[in-house]
Copies of this chain bind each other. A is one copy, B any other.
Amino acid sequence: DSRFTFIGGPCVIESERLLMETAEKVKRITEKLNINFIFKSSFDKANRSSIESFRGLGFEEGLRILEKIKKTYDIPIITDVHESWQCASVAEVVDVLQIPAFLCRQTDLLIAAAKTGRTVNIKKGQFLSPGEMKNVIYKLEEIGHRQILLTERGTSFGYNNLVVDMRSLVEMRKLGYPIVFDATHSVQRPGGLGTATGGDREFVPYLMNAAMAVGIDAIFAETHPNPEKALSDGPNMIPLHELEDILSQALEIKSVIKKKIIE
């Protein structure tokens, strides 16, 4: 539908209980705010900084839990895929397949995801200019796939830092697909913690507000009841109890934004 969309959940599938609890609470918040909700969590973190990081509960157990959430709460699910062979199985459970930023140029993965017929959310690589997403999209369009979302999640800015170029949202919107702003990965500090990725959670609501003021179709944000104890991306996830206030502020900005500023 045409309402605004929130995409979120805990970064990685830590346990069924955590996911159920988060899904339920976020569902209630999004209903209250009258926006769509797509639940996100990763069955596998294939590109962790360190080999010793927690990667998830595995492919099958992960998909089982995502399916349970989908049925229990009647909400669509998004998750990320990392190799072509995963796409078909994942598409049986989830509604949106997500292409991680590092992988946004991998043609086989893009095609395999598109061939499932599911919506494909492509995260713009940290190494890419917004204009280059045109070629990425074209790989899907060539096989007749047009169910596409484009996500901004920050661009490489020197070492161990990302910057969000708000012009990127404007540029990508010209490509004709809904634009998502990933507010939590955008504040990551890659390699900032030695063997883990750091982050500045403090900036999440500000960047979210800014993106809203530029004009976007959905917000992506990872959230967790207790980010300090999260098994992945703790430093940038939103504490679950703050989510409503943060989204609520962002939506107020959306309500005053005109489609065209200059008549």
Contacts and interface: CB of A to CB of B under 8 A. Distances in A.
Interface of A: 46-52, 55, 82-85, 102-103, 105-108, 125-129, 131-132, 135, 138-139, 142, 155-161, 163-167, 169-170, 187, 190-191, 195, 200, 202-203, 205-207, 209-215, 242, 245-246, 249, 252-253, 255-258, 261-263
Total copies of this chain within the assembly: 4
B156 A159 contact: no
A209 B255 contact: no
A144 to B, nearest CB: 12
Given A51-B138, A245-B261, A213 B167 contact: no
B83 A102 contact: no
Contact of A200 (B46, B85, B167): B167
Task: Please list the 10 inter-chain residue pairs (A to B) with the smallest Cβ-Cβ separation, ordered nearest first.
Answer: A158-B158, A129-B159, A213-B213, A210-B210, A156-B156, A209-B213, A51-B139, A132-B191, A47-B105, A252-B256
A167 B199 CA distance: 13
